[in-house]
Amino acid sequence: MIKLNVPDMSCGHCVGVITEAIKAADPKAEVRTDLATKIVTVETAQPAARIAQVVDDAGYPNSAA
């Protein structure tokens, strides 16, 4: 399980963009987002660094949570 802190995630649109980017990298990924805490939790076979990079490339800088 990967947990990312995404401080710029502030609305449903942000959630959609982040989820779509992760699903493009791993269609089988399970993505859960919490806008209140700005945490994205991902169940995936991809390495954490890959998922973090995909979210960053989508325009949302992040760090490990």
Q: Tens digit of pLDDT for each residue in 34-58?
A: 999 999 999 999 999 999 999 999 9
For residue 1, count other CB atoms closer than 10 A to its CB: 9
Q: What is the pLDDT at residue 55?
A: 98
Whole-structure pTM value: 0.94
Cβ–Cβ < 8 Å for 19, 31: yes
Please enumerate in sequence order all residues whose Cβ is within 8 A of that of 15, keeping only pairs 6 or more positions apart, or say none.
9, 33, 35
At the topology level of CATH, where does 2-64 sit?
A: Alpha-Beta Plaits (3.30.70)
Q: Is 5 helix (H, G, I), strand (E, B) or coil?
A: strand
Angle between helices 48-57 and 12-25 (to 10 degrees): 130
